[in-house]
């Protein structure tokens, strides 16, 4: 849950990098919440709650995906490939599941940064 809440702390921060674990834990909690809200909406007979939640989550979703792409050495603009039907989804899935690269234009590798922080403590 800390990764989901941590994304809100970096709500519109499109700089830096996000590890694979941070991104996929965010997606997991997002899906759990949206499915729960959809069930409540179906029970009530509206689509209001899940729609509002999706709208609120739009910018955080874009920002964490951009930071995840930065971690793989790509710019956040690669998210526009979602506009290509089916192929865009497959390409983005491949990009988002790739391992972190070493230090790049977007900063230090988060994996090595955590290791260095643990050694200093």
Q: Which two tokens stand for residue 66?
A: 């951009």
CA nearest to 59, candidates 8, 4, 108: 8
Percent of the chain with pLDDT strictly greater than 90:
46
Residue 10 confidence (pLDDT) above 80:
no
Q: Where are the domains of the chain?
A: 2-116
Helices (H), the chain: 2-9, 20-44, 48-56, 58-71, 87-97, 110-120
> Per-residue confidence at 30, pLDDT binned at 50, 70, 90?
very high
pLDDT at 43: 94
pTM: 0.80
């Amino acid at each position: 849950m800390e990764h989901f809440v941590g994304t809100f702390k970096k709500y519109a921060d499109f700089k830096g990098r996000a590890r694979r674990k941070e991104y996929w834990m965010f997606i997991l909690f997002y899906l759990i919440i949206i499915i729960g809200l959809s069930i409540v909406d179906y029970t009530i007979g509206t689509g209001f709650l899940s729609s509002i939640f999706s709208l609120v989550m739009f910018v955080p979703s874009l920002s964490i995906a951009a930071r995840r792409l930065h971690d793989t050495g790509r710019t956040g603009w690669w998210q526009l490939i979602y506009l290509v039907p089916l192929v865009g989804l497959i390409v983005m899935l491949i990009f988002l599941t790739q391992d972190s690269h070493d230090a790049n234009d977007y900063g230090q590798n988060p994996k090595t940064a955590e290791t260095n922080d643990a050694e200093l403590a």
